Structure 1
């Protein structure tokens, strides 16, 4: 499957990419990370796989999007380390909700492991989002989608991302 996706991406002009997981049972995520790591290390046809992107299961139900909330998990350093190990250190990005308990510690830990952290699928406030950027978070996953929006009384995640020069903003352009 990864080879087919990589070939399709190459035909569309993509040179390299990060296959992305979604919220799923942990054993399913582990299996996906292993397959991505193998493809990353052996190479293959099409667009180059640079590693994996974990989008979920560390979100909150308020802005869940298509992610099943019954599979959301709490942030635990040991579990994050296990994901990094299972990925054979090819895990490049983890997306999470910054208001979850332990999020700031998890962000700092992931950054120490050279894993980028994106914020999303969250009901975080401006303050919680800024605290996550202060802890090392890199930006917002698909800005405006699956997060607290920009409001004149509560600038939310979007306001924090737009006003913080450290933040990268991913956009869905459709």
Structure 2
């Protein structure tokens, strides 16, 4: 090989390695700690309260009532216990949907909370880390949520104070 071809080949390979490095760096910057999770839906639930939590149902919907995709149910979560749900697929018809949590209130009623908003028509990755910290005097869950979805990136909100 002559020197020109050799240096050209080294230059092209170096360019693509640098480009690949920037791609990995950008993914890490956007996802941070959520990079380790697979594509699909991952929900991790931690019960740091002193209550037994029952019947947590997670689903995607365009509004609270019309279930688009059932993600899973956690029947019982004891104090100090944690569990997770994973679904490798997110059904991709339509945008403007949310991941909802449906749970009973005082065994007579139910409440629905939005845990993640998906603006993408074809989302590839949603991660929700839900920490249940207690139950307020009306029976509603107090919790913290942090997560990632592939359009807006990382998010976090806290509903641990007494609700109205």
How does the TM-score come out when normalised to structure 2?
0.23
Higher strand proportion (structure 1 or 2): 2
Structure holding more helix per residue: 1
Q: Over alpha carbons, which structure has the higher Rg?
A: 2
Compare relative contact order (CA 8 Å, sep 6+) and give the higher one, 1 or 2.
2
TM-score, normalised by the number of residues in structure 1: 0.22
